[in-house]
Amino acid sequence: MPFTRFFRQSLSHCTAALFAAALVASCETSNGGGNAPVPMRGPAVAADVSVERVVLQAYRAIADRHLYEPDFRKMSAETYRGFASTDPALSLQAGGKAFTVMRDGHEVLSRPAPADTSDGRAWGGMLAELFAASIDSSPVLQQTDRSVLIKGAMSATTKLLDRNSRYADPEEARDNRFQRDGGGGVGITIERADDKKILIRAVQDGSPAARGGVQVGDQIMAIDAESMMDRSLADVVHMLRGTIGAQVALTVLRPAQGQELTLSLKRARIIPTTVVYERRGDVALIHLTGFNTATTETLRTAMDRARHDIGRDIAGIIIDMRSNRGGLLDQAQSVAEVFIGEGTIFSTQGRHPDSQRTYRSSSRRSAELPIVVLVNGNSASAAEIVAAALQDRGRAVVVGTTSYGKGTVQTVIRLPNEGELVLTWSRLLAPSGYTWNELGVLPNICTAKVADVGRLGPEAVDASRSTLTRWHAERNPTAAEVTDMRKICPPGEDSPERDVDIADRLLRDPTLYALAVRTGSVEQAARPN
């Protein structure tokens, strides 16, 4: 499939997507040569890219691939108003038979409205004529940067689709691609301290920065002899990224030494790190922060390291996906395959024939260790795919709060201006057949309901049995039902240590773990109440 599907920037406006270039997910953030949450700067829209071309391609994609059949009559009126928003003298009369553009009370152009409200090509073609005539008649639009016109039109368009469809302008789209696929950088994560200093928060193992001697806590003073004082994070990110193999001089202030150091680094292909392994006695704690092209490979490496470090006495694995906003669909599938043997992982359903698929594990070998998955209200998309699959298939106990509820797949269409249309094209279903879209994944054990971790016992598991059974039996809950059900274990944004303590307690009590893992499985969901 030639599409990409993907994520969002802050879960309140985020998205997720999946597949060959597919995302499920979530929020893309941009990183300083590796990971800082700021957008990357880039050139303006190419002079030969018209608003008409961008909108026409978007309309064709929406007509062909969106999860629901669109009403282009309503959408076209909003698209035009978004496009013309910088000139209050322009107005649109969207009649039943014709769309007419007026400026200062005078007709600019009128065109017949296509009869078929689902014909994206016809409505896009009509809009193209209205756009061109509007620009010819409006000195304001003629002086407005084309990227502003495109963003106005596309933002208005996607607002009428669903909460996860959105438009990414060329700068954001470039950063999204960096997060998914990597690019030229030095392998550091940066942040702005309270005193406005730009500090290095993390250094990626094996990266140019690691080899060049960059350390966590260093303050970035200059890049290629250009001062970074009072510069935005976006500017610093832009300066750190560049052509693979190109040299970059990084000047840092190292507080421990009280001196500035200039380090010469050669940019390499950097894929942001999404997997971090931490040993906790005889338990492997794996922080899984996103799903990009390197996630599954890095996870397998972390698992091998855990087995080597802990040896035969390893008690189990905690997979921490709290605030993991999602990522690539194929990575959600392959991560689940690490832990699930043969069988269904998830399925997708949509309007386009290619969106109706069942994703199965073909793995004959999987990690048979006990697993606890941690989620919270900011765990979305690809993270929910993995959590729901492991819970449904009886491979993990889920602990924390109800997750975000991003149960749709987005396809990413690159537009003529190098921006991206992130378009919802299917819904996700767990192995038991329920969709967690809007609803979220309910944990086997809700942290807020555990008063004393040391006394966690079978009664806590039994208390959630009927709720989980009902949750997994839902197919089309109403908005009111979703609201009521999410109150059972309200979504939280924090990552309390108690989540880890509960996971550790479960892994050290095989009987309690076995009871909890059965409670959320497909077999349990299939039993009558």
CB 179 within 8 A of CB 28: yes
pLDDT, average across residues 297-301: 95
**pLDDT on residue 196:** 82
Say which residue, 359 or 528, is predicted with more confidence.
Answer: 359
Q: How far apart are CA 106 and CA 91, in angstroms?
A: 10
* Helices (H), ranges, 205-256: 208-211, 233-240
**pLDDT on residue 20:** 30
Domain ranges of the chain: 18-29+43-177, 183-270, 275-408+427-525
Q: Among the listed ranges 79-93, 355-369, 391-405, which one has the minimum average pLDDT value? A: 355-369
Is the pLDDT at 33 greater than 70, yes or no? Answer: no
DSSP code for 4: B
Confidence class of residue 258 from pLDDT cuts 50, 70 and 90? Answer: confident
Q: Considering the entire predicted model, what is its pTM?
A: 0.81
Q: How far apart are CA 373 and CA 500, in angstroms?
A: 10
- DSSP β-bridge partners for residue 167: 421
Q: How far apart are CA 409 and CA 83, in angstroms?
A: 27
Is the pLDDT at 74 greater than 90, yes or no? Answer: yes
The predicted-structure confidence for 436-479, as pLDDT tens digits, reads as follows 999 999 999 999 999 999 999 998 888 888 899 989 988 889 99
Question: Could you give the maximum distance between any two Cα atoms of the chain, in Å?
Answer: 82
Structure tokens at 411: 């396809």
Q: Which residues contact 410 (CB under 8 A, 6 or more apart)?
A: 5, 6, 15, 16, 17, 18, 22, 23, 24, 25, 164, 165, 422, 423, 424, 425
pLDDT, average across residues 410-416: 93
DSSP element (H, E) containing 284: strand 283-288
The predicted-structure confidence for 468-515, as pLDDT tens digits, reads as follows 998 998 888 999 999 999 999 999 999 999 999 999 999 999 999 999
**pLDDT on residue 23:** 53
Q: Which superfamily is assigned to 183-270 in CATH? A: PDZ domain (2.30.42.10)
How confident is the prediction for the chain on average, in pLDDT? 87
| 470-479 contacts, C-beta under 8 A, 24 or more apart | 470/529, 471/434, 471/439, 471/442, 472/392, 472/430, 472/432, 472/433, 472/434, 472/520, 472/522, 472/524, 472/525, 473/434, 473/525, 474/434, 474/439, 475/433, 475/434, 475/435, 477/438, 477/439, 479/438
CB 369 within 8 A of CB 339: no
CB 69 within 8 A of CB 118: yes
pLDDT, average across residues 224-238: 91
**pLDDT on residue 456:** 92
The predicted-structure confidence for 100-118, as pLDDT tens digits, reads as follows 999 999 999 999 999 999 9
Query: Per-residue b/e over 439-451, b at no fewer than 16 CB within 10 Å?
Result: bbbbbbbbbeebe
| Fold topology of 275-408+427-525 | 2-enoyl-CoA Hydratase; Chain A, domain 1 (3.90.226)
**pLDDT on residue 359:** 94
Catalytic residues, by residue number, are 381, 392, 406
**pLDDT on residue 234:** 84
